[in-house]
């Protein structure tokens, strides 16, 4: 497995390289943003460990550009910026996970293994179910041809549901992938945000499958929900 570490703190970069190589990884290191972006674009890596505050180009910009170019290499942000909005910004830019410094190397390895297990399947340029369309690159959502304004969190929730439109997505999975493993999220938040989505894209567009989770369904005028045993959420 080939990894890219983009980190401008030389001592930390060296320690990461040695630790990861001891675990059997082949590791390249970039000490600035432009070099890191160029290597990530063309190096064929299995995953990237990325700092945010980098000379020349921030980690946010790097991951955003990779995603705009349809490069879906798994990215783990490793940063001293530990605010909740910093973490949300990193995940919203397209990173797959976020770990704050100081960090446990054991936890870093576990997070990295989880990313590598998921891999980097090609993601379609546009996601759609019926006349509901989401464009990850432009971050635009339309329903029946009309643009829908979503918050960053609502967008991420809808995007994840659309990427998994062929199955029911459990609430715990949504918490992990939309709120992130670094956040303390109340499971009831999923119900709240599903309610927000329903008010904006149509109540029938997100179906609750009792005891299992949620799935998106093509809009069906005149019907509350579509298919399977469903129940409305409190406050939705």
Q: What is the mean pLDDT of each run of 10 residues along the chain (236 residues)?
A: 92 94 91 94 90 93 86 91 85 88 92 82 72 81 90 87 88 78 66 92 88 79 38 38
The answer to whether residues 214 and 169 touch, using CB atoms and an 8 Å cutoff, is: yes
Q: Where are the alpha helices (DSSP H) in the chain?
A: 10-22, 33-42, 59-68, 84-93, 105-118, 152-163, 171-174, 188-201
Kindly report the pTM of this predicted structure: 0.55
Contacts of 38 (CB under 8 A, 6+ apart): none
Amino acid 194: pLDDT: 93
The percentage of residues in the chain with a pLDDT greater than 90, rounded to a whole number, is 39
Tell me how far apart the alpha carbons of residues 95 and 234 are, in angstroms, rounded to a whole number: 32
| Nearest Cα to Cα of residue 108 among 47, 63, 53, 59 | 47
Beta bridge partners of 75: 48
Tell me how far apart the alpha carbons of residues 96 and 182 are, in angstroms, rounded to a whole number: 12
Domains parsed from the chain with CATH numbers:
2-118 (3.40.50.2300), 127-216 (1.10.10.10)
The answer to whether residues 119 and 74 touch, using CB atoms and an 8 Å cutoff, is: yes
Tell me how far apart the alpha carbons of residues 8 and 32 are, in angstroms, rounded to a whole number: 6
């Amino acid at each position: 497995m080939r990894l890219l570490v983009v980190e401008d703190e030389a001592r930390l970069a060296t320690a990461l390289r040695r630790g990861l190589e001891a675990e059997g990884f082949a590791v390249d290191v970039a000490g600035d943003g432009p070099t890191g972006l160029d290597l990530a674009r063309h190096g064929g890596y299995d995953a990237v460990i990325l700092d945010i505050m980098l000379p020349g180009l921030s980690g946010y910009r790097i991951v955003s550009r990779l995603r705009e170019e349809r490069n879906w290499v798994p990215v783990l942000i490793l940063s001293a910026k530990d605010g909740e909005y910093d973490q949300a910004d990193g995940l919203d830019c397209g990173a797959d996970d976020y770990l704050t410094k100081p960090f446990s190397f054991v936890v870093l390895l576990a997070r990295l293994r989880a990313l590598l297990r998921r891999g980097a399947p090609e993601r379609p340029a546009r996601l759609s179910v019926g006349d509901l369309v989401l464009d990850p690159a432009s971050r635009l959502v339309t329903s029946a041809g009309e643009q829908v304004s979503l918050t960053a969190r609502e967008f991420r929730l809808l995007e994840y549901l659309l990427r998994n439109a062929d199955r029911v997505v459990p609430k715990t999975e949504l918490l992990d992938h939309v709120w992130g493993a670094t956040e303390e999220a109340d499971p009831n938040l999923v119900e709240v945000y599903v309610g927000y989505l329903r008010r904006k894209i149509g109540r029938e567009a997100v179906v609750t499958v009792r005891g299992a989770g949620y799935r998106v369904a093509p809009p069906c005028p005149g019907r509350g929900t579509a298919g399977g045993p469903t129940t409305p959420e409190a406050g939705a």
